[in-house]
């Protein structure tokens, strides 16, 4: 089937009473899952990059520099863990056929920002080099990006909670 025929079928089905609410619920479930998967993939890449740098630090005998990097890795893992858990189930936000559209739009904007920030964290981590003269500056950039990421994760959780109340 072509995309245009799929669109036609969807438009017809949305005219059936009750289907539109079901479709919207499925759209929200799929969107929430895609956000979680995307952010988790980016943060997993960041962790792999930090592990690479940690091994390089250990190999170079720079053990004292492992602690700050380990703390950042832990912060990334905490964010990944929070985002990785499905917040929305068959009840609450997913199950609610009618939601405040403005609040839902704000949530989608927040999730887009969260995804962008996850990409930034991954890029900063992938560009870390221990031999670089500006390694300390690089670590500070990662620390700032991870702090912003964790703030966005908390804001997302609060926004989801508000929508389900």
What are 114-154's pLDDT values in tens digits? 999 999 999 999 988 876 667 778 888 889 999 999 999 99
Q: In terms of CATH architecture, what is 30-164? A: Up-down Bundle (1.20)
- The pLDDT score that the predictor gives to residue 75 is 92
- Kindly tell me if the per-residue pLDDT of 74 is higher than 90: yes
Q: Per residue in 94-107, pLDDT tens?
A: 455 566 677 777 88
Highest-pLDDT range among 45-49, 66-70, 103-107, 136-140: 45-49
Query: Considering the chain, what is the average pLDDT of its residues?
Result: 79
**CB contact burial 45-76 (16+ within 10 A = b; e otherwise):** bbbebbeebbeebeeeeeeebeeebeebbebb
160: phi > 0 → left, psi -120 to 50 → alpha, else beta; which?
Answer: alpha
């Amino acid at each position: 089937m072509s995309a245009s025929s799929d669109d036609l079928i969807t438009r017809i089905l949305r005219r059936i009473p009750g289907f539109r609410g079901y479709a919207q619920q499925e759209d929200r479930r799929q969107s929430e899952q895609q956000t979680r998967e995307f952010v988790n993939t980016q943060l997993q890449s960041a962790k792999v990059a930090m592990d690479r740098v940690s091994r390089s630090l250990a190999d170079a005998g720079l053990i004292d520099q492992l602690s700050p990097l380990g703390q950042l890795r832990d912060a990334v893992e905490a964010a990944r863990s929070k985002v990785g858990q499905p917040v929305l189930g068959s009840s609450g936000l997913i199950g609610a056929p009618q939601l405040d559209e403005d609040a839902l739009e704000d949530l989608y904007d927040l999730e887009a920002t969260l995804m962008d920030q996850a990409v930034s964290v991954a890029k900063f981590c992938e560009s870390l080099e221990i031999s670089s003269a500006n390694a300390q500056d690089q670590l500070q950039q990662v620390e700032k990006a991870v702090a912003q990421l964790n703030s966005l994760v908390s804001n997302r959780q609060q926004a989801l909670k508000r929508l389900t109340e």
